[in-house]
Amino acid sequence: MTNEELIQKAIITTADIAAAGKLNDEQANAFIDFVIDVTELKGSVRVVRFRSENMQIDKIGVGQRVSVPKEEAKDPGLRRGVSTSKVTLTPRDVMTPFEISDTFAELNIEGEAVEDTVVRLMATQTANDLEEVFINGDALGPARIEADLLDGGSSTQVIKDTFTALFDGWLRLLDAGNIYDADGANLSSKIFSGMIKKMPVKFRRTRRNLRFLMALDMEQNWREKVSSRTTPQGDAALTSSGTIPVYGVPMIPVPLLEPDPRVVEHKTFAAAPVTVALRYNHIGTEMIIVPSTLGASPVTPLLETTDYTVDRTAGTVTSVGGGAMAAGGIFKITYRSGAQIMLADFQNLILAIGRDIRIETDRDIYKGVNQFAITTKVSVQVEEVTATVKGINIGLD
């Protein structure tokens, strides 16, 4: 292996670890700032820093008319109030375990400087991992090919992705909000306009606070489309990397939001043949169906045509008589949807990271390695889901 490849696999911490492995406030804030900057979510979501196990955010609003006619010298006899409620954040622990051997530390061509190099690599990858669960988290846990998650894993059998199952991310949470269904149409100004009109008027008055969050490829598709115009905005789309607004709303490309997000559903089948509808239509070719009890033990997924058939345009799955689904049961269905775009006020999407960040070390004298672990708590939530819009079933061309 090359030295660069070794660095990619080796991880080491800095020398200025706080007492007992717990970062002080300044160090913790610097770590959180780095995570947000790397994920490019800065200015597009609300970042909350906390210490307690659970955190509640107070919501306050006015949902109806509060003004009444006023008559001279007469009490109107009415009093209006505000509605209050709370949003609860339940953070989950996330650990980044790693180790580096004595031999690597001694023989690496970068010498002592390798520590800083590897720290940057690890911090960047940790931030990417967190962005993945912030965006794509689903408590059901998708089925994934084992080799995609574990070195030396099977390339044909699947296991449950327990990391993205930590909690529901924004894509899943916005399913409870307003939905704009493009029904397979490719990205266009009509889709952006339709999404804006799906948001209640009272939440879109201040458009400068709204954000369209989308995959890098989708933003590039739109940038290419706009660049064909012989206008100053067309030139800017072609020559600059600045944010492109649509109807006054900035478009934010999110690296870990895939053009065709992975979706997981649990569906109940009676005795075959039975047809069930998925949440999305115009779905991709990738599909994995296994029993809903899937865990860490690899299993072989069911076979299309033999055990089930799929209508990808309609977004339906039909069990086949005589196949593994013939007797019925609950099955985990993991597939790729069309593109999805989120529209929300940047203060409405909450990203919570605990300040109690720990970097702890240990020594395995038998293996001759130093062991490290970075632990923190993270969570995401939506303060007002009725103030969000999710565009779904968007074509990828």
CATH of the domain at 127: 3.30.2400
**Does 326 lie in the same domain as 364?**
no
Asked whether 338 and 280 are in contact (CB, 8 A), the reply is yes
The residue-averaged pLDDT of 151-158 equals: 95
| Model confidence at 141: pLDDT above 60 | yes
Q: What is the pLDDT of residue 160?
A: 97
328 and 373 belong to one structural domain: no
pLDDT at residue 74 greater than cutoff 90: no
**Running DSSP on this structure, what letter comes out for residue 395?**
B
Percentage, residues of the chain above pLDDT 70? 82
Which of 337, 369, 391 is the endpoint of a domain? 337
User: If you average pLDDT over residues 178-186, what whole number do you get?
Assistant: 96
Gap between the Cα atoms of 18 and 360, Å rounded: 9
164 is written with which tokens? 């993205």
Mean pLDDT of 307-320: 96
The HSE-up count of residue 390 (CA atoms within 13 Å, CB side) is: 22
Q: What is the pLDDT of residue 21?
A: 60
> Residue 65 is encoded by which pair of tokens?
């008319």
Q: Which residue has the higher pLDDT, 230 or 158?
A: 158
Q: Which residue has the higher pLDDT, 3 or 124?
A: 124
Do 116 and 37 fall within a single domain? yes
Task: Name residue, tokens 């203060």.
Answer: 347
Using left for φ > 0, alpha for ψ between -120 and 50, and beta otherwise, residue 293 falls in alpha
Residues 50 and 130 in one domain: yes
Q: Examine residue 364 and state whether it is found in any structural domain, yes or no.
A: yes
Question: What range defines the domain where residue 354 resides?
Answer: 3-55+89-140+349-382
In a domain, 71, yes or no: no
Q: Is the pLDDT of residue 223 over 60?
A: yes
Q: Please check whether residue 89 is in contact with residue 381, taking contact to mean a CB–CB distance below 8 angstroms.
A: yes
Joined tokens for residue 162: 């327990």
